[in-house]
Structure 1
Amino acid sequence: MQYTIESYINIAKTIIEGQRPEDKIYHHLALTGDKDVFALMAGADLIRDTFFKREIHLCSICNGKSGTCSENCKFCSQSKFHTSDIEIYPLMSKAELQKRAYALMDTDVHRYSVVTTGKGLGKSEVRQVADALGELPSKKLSYCVSLGILDDEDMAYLKACGIGRYHHNLETCRSHFDTVCTSHTYDDRINTIKKAKNAGLSVCSGGIFGVGESMAQVLELAFELRELEVDAVPINFLTPIPGTPFEGENNLTPLRCLKIISVMRYVLPDTDIIICGGRIPNLKMLHPFVFQAGANGIMTGDYLTTKGNQLQEDLDMINQLGFE
């Protein structure tokens, strides 16, 4: 069956009306060819505009603890099993974590997130991060943490300190996970998300693309995130960092990236979709089209061990596109 731009728009309208298409329609969307990606995007853009208008969410992260990670995620430069040339340091002090937040308070950034390396922070470190953010004013910024696999007690402490969101990516779908990481299980990640939700935290969870997944597996991840009812979905595109097992991988094109974003928007119509790592290197000249593909947010500034667009560059792009 060949879809036209009208077909994509009609599917989008059905989704906006609260109806869920059959899975076979989603699978057809995932198989959209390059020549039809902009037609696919038209429907995704309509969905985004319906639920989020012209407003773009901006978040920024702090690499609060770097390197020597016990996990073997093949894309990550911070694993102790890899040989990437990165800066290694222990957990930042409360003062340093707060200093980086204060630097954002008079900007257009909405959310500040502290991200740390490792399978999961120890309890004293969890409390150090939570106490640091808990002492900050909450009117100008929202706060998020990404501290790995934690238990119920840790999640409750984060919530009690006023932290609103927990970030924990699934990274990829269940059927592909063991080709990306073997030092912990997919269910470890699922259970961490459930514990965060049980503590009353909103959840930011998505994945990284370009690690050998098929478009059917992109769709599988989207369905998993929908089932978990996460609040925000960060989309990362692989930056093949030297010293990692994926350093030679490069199976992404700008159009494939836009297709991944669009498919996510069709499956997750009213969920925040935030474009994060690898945005510029993979989308290249097409990176401003992420919003027309369905995204309603971007991560601005540097990432964990790679560089990103700086805030003013992103603000200029948003303004030039007519978004707010």
Structure 2
Amino acid sequence: MDSMRKLFLDLAEKAIHQDLSVGELESIARVKDEHVFALMAGADLIREHFFGRGIHLCTICNAKSGRCSEDCHFCAQSAHFETDVPSYPLKDSQELISLGQSLAETEVHRYSLVTSGKGLSATEIDHICDVFNELKGKNIHLCASLGIIHKDDLTRLKQAGLSRYHHNLETAESFFPSICTTHEYAQRIQTIKQAKEAGLSVCSGGIFGLGESDAQVVELAKTLKSLDVDAVPVNFLVPIPGTPLENKSYLTPLRCLKIISILRYVLPDKEIIICGGRVQNLKELHPMVFFAGASGIMTGNYLTTTGRTLEEDLQLLENLGFSPRANIG
């Protein structure tokens, strides 16, 4: 067996049972492109141990778009930048309910309402609660990504049927000031803690390809581990014209696979879901995300970019010998 491959398989066996050391994580972060497939062998072993051949599927609805007060440099919906992304207020309740009802008849496990902006008004929270009350009890788990939110509102949303709150940290704390200046990293962490205190599971990850180092990928992963989040969405930057990162390109297909693998070694038993930028950045290698450690994918369109259809992704899973996971919490 190739010595590099054996090294990472041994690290994977250790990661299944205990945390890797700082030195071991540093060695993973230093892996060169030519050794990424050896690194993936261990990540795949970890995924198989905790998740088998079942893949989690989720989809989102961009329920409120544009005019966000925050200046996240990657975001097409920020009011600070001139982009072609449409802006609209919170969508009609029936439109949001109808989409959720249709998804409940498919293999999709989770349906998430996502809104732009730092947070929602009391009236908008009422609107979301009405939608969730209509969908509660259907064969679909309900998620929301509504920005920085108070614990009382999280409790109300949970009573309406919400089971998971999504709030990305976006990147490592040491890199965050380079990406956003209109709010503090601590506010994002506080929102995650409040969601957990409200009895919700938490989905929190980030967007990669912003200029962060591989060591900062490890840093973010360790922060997510310390917060004990339940699921980690992984987005890869699709540069949007008009944003500060419109001409930046820090990703290759192999680096994307490396990032997924790093996350799996640090977060062995957590759901890792590949979301925006999957096909645009991994290109022909995008089916390999599962062998790099991913246990889920977002199917359908993303917030401001198009994705793959559910039918295409179901066929992909079948071709690779995977299957949609049974209904989960």
TM-score above 0.5: yes
Aligned alpha-carbon RMSD (Å): 1.0
CA positional deviation for 1:137: 4.2
Give the 3-state SS of the residue equivalent to 2:57 in structure 1: strand
Q: Secondary structure at the match of 1:145?
A: strand
Report how far residue 138 of structure 1 moved: 2.7
In the aligned structure 2, how far is the partner of 1:304 from the partner of 1:164?
Answer: 21
SS in structure 2 opposite 1:211?
coil
Moved more, 183-192 or 132-141: 132-141
How has the CA–CA distance of structure 1 residues 90 and 12 changed in structure 2, closer, same or farther, with 3 Å as cutoff? same
5+ residue gaps in structure 1?
none
5+ long unaligned stretches in structure 2 = 324-329
Cα distance in 2 between the residues matched to 1:166 and 1:21: 28
1:97-116 to structure 2, matched below 5 A, reads 97-116=96-115
Q: Does 1:172 align with 2:171?
A: yes
1:133 is aligned with what amino acid? Answer: F
For 1:25 and 1:292, the matched residues in 2 are separated by 21
Residue 7 of structure 1 corresponds to 7
Alignment of 1:57-206 (within 5 A): 57-206=56-205
* Structure 2 partner of 1:284: 283
Are the equivalent residues in 1 in contact too, given 2:112–2:143 (CA < 8 A)? yes
Partner deviation per Cα, 1:39-98 (whole Å, 9 max, x = no partner): 000000000000000000000000000010010000000011111101111001211110
| Per-residue deviation, 1:234 | 0.1
Aligned partner of 2:253 in structure 1 is 254
Count of residues in correspondence between the two structures: 322
> What letter is aligned with 1:230?
V
Letter in 2 for 1:244: T
Three-state SS of the structure 1 residue aligned to 2:103 is coil
CA distance in 2, matches of 1:238, 1:21: 28
**1:314 aligns to 2:308 (yes or no):** no
Q: Shift in Å at residue 3 of structure 1?
A: 5.9
2:238 is equivalent to residue 239 of structure 1: yes
List structure 1 runs of 4+ shifted beyond 2 angstroms: none
Cα distance, 1:142 vs structure 2: 0.3
C-alpha displacement of 1:139: 4.1
CA offset at residue 188 of structure 1?
Answer: 0.6
Query: Matched residues in 1 for 2:25 and 2:50: separation?
Result: 20
Q: Deviations over 1:225-267 (max 9, x none)?
A: 0000000000000000111111001110000000000000000
Distance, in Å, in 2 between the alignment partners of 1:49 and 1:134 is 36
Determine the C-alpha separation between the residues in 2 that align with 1:248 and 1:51: 39
* 8 Å CA contact 2:135, 2:161 repeated in 1: no
Residue 175 of structure 1 aligns to a residue whose secondary structure is coil
- Identity of counterpart residues, as a percentage? 57
CA distance in 2, matches of 1:212, 1:66: 26
When normalised by structure 1's length, the TM-score is 0.98
CA contact (8 A) 2:120 2:146 kept: yes
CA–CA distance in structure 2, aligned partners of residues 184 and 8 of structure 1: 38
In the TM superposition, residue 286 of structure 1 has moved relative to its aligned partner by 0.3
Residue in 1 that maps onto 2:303? 304
C-alpha distance in 2 between matches for 1:134 and 1:23: 45
In the alignment, the residues of structure 2 paired with residue 15 and residue 243 of structure 1 have an alpha-carbon distance, to the nearest angstrom, of 42
| Equivalent pair of 2:101/2:138 in contact (CA under 8 Å) | no
The whole-number CA distance in structure 1 between the counterparts of 2:157 and 2:175 is: 31
Answer whether contact 2:20 2:266 (CA < 8 A) is retained. Answer: no
TM-score (norm 2): 0.96
Give 1:224 deviation, angstroms.
Answer: 0.2
User: Helix, strand or coil for the counterpart of 1:103?
Assistant: helix
Question: Per the alignment, in what secondary structure is the counterpart of residue 213 of structure 1?
Answer: coil
